[in-house]
């Protein structure tokens, strides 16, 4: 989702900054890089949090959160500013979807990574501790059948 948001946002920002610019102008093509320049550090922080969770390490979210919030706000501003200024609420909402989705995916990814790290670190629950109705038998795969 973060990658889709970055690509979508790249087209939004490029259109906002360089609409009407000739294709021969290098700025036309470089404008596609503004959004990734802002959101790639967010993805890097997401990867860091995932790796730390998997290794059982704690990340100082109080230090990272202001950076994440600042980058997300910057991404939102460059995506919707022309439409907010024009008073076009529909376009403002439409162009805010990509940065908002990136903002939603980051905490979801971090939470999922922590939960998966707990499951991997703790192993699977033992069937002795489960009641008979709670035991789920694994479904045979083609490898099991062969």
- Give the whole-angstrom CA distance, residue 134 versus residue 53: 29
Q: Does 138 or 71 have the greater pLDDT score? A: 71
User: Would you say residue 142 has pLDDT above 70?
Assistant: no
Q: Which residues of 29-46 are buried (b: 16+ CB within 10 A; e: fewer)?
A: eebbebbbebbeebbebb
Instruction: Please name which of 41, 45, 46 lies closest in space to residue 74, comparing C-alpha atoms.
Output: 41
Q: What global pTM score does this model have?
A: 0.65
Name the band, by pLDDT with cuts 50, 70 and 90, for residue 83: very high
- Give the whole-angstrom CA distance, residue 72 versus residue 81: 14
């Amino acid at each position: 989702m973060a990658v889709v948001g970055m690509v979508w946002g790249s087209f939004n920002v490029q259109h906002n900054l360089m609409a009407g610019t000739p294709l021969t102008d290098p700025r036309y093509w470089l404008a596609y890089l503004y959004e990734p320049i802002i959101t790639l550090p967010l993805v890097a922080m997401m990867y860091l949090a995932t790796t730390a969770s998997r290794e059982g390490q704690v990340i100082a979210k109080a230090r990272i959160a202001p950076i994440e919030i600042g980058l997300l706000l910057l991404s939102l501003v460059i995506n919707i500013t022309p439409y907010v200024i024009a008073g076009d609420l529909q376009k403002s909402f439409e162009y805010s979807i990509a940065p908002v989705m990136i903002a939603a995916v980051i905490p979801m990814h971090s939470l999922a990574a922590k939960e998966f790290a707990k499951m991997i670190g703790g192993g699977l629950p033992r069937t002795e501790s489960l009641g008979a109705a709670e035991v789920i038998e694994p479904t045979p795969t083609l490898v099991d059948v062969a």
